[in-house]
Amino acid sequence: MKPDIHVTYYCRNRPPMPGAVPHNDLVEVECYGERIYVHDIDNMAWGVAVYNRELAPWEVMRYELIREPRKSE
């Protein structure tokens, strides 16, 4: 049985709306309503999209996303 995976990607250049993020395996979306500074990525973002898988590198590039940094354990 696969463990539950939740991978968060920040949306740099547009709000996380249909067409602005990949829709396959999308679990959750949070739109901030405006671009805000996000300390974890040291960048501005419109919101986040959470997936139950790692996105392919081409998806990250095409949709201009930033993966949430992995937490060190």
Strands (E), the chain: 7-11, 26-38, 43-51, 65-67
pLDDT for 53 equals: 96
Q: Which two tokens stand for residue 72?
A: 């060190």
Q: What is the pLDDT of residues 14-69, one digit of tens each?
A: 999 999 999 999 999 999 999 999 999 999 999 999 999 999 999 999 999 999 99
Judge whether residue 3 has pLDDT over 90. Answer: no
The CA distance from 17 to 3, in Å, is 27
pLDDT for 5 equals: 86
Q: Where do the structural domains in the chain lie, given as residue ranges? A: 7-67
Find the Cα–Cα–Cα–Cα dihedral 65, 67, 5, 29, rounded to 10°: -40
pLDDT for 71 equals: 72
pLDDT for 43 equals: 95
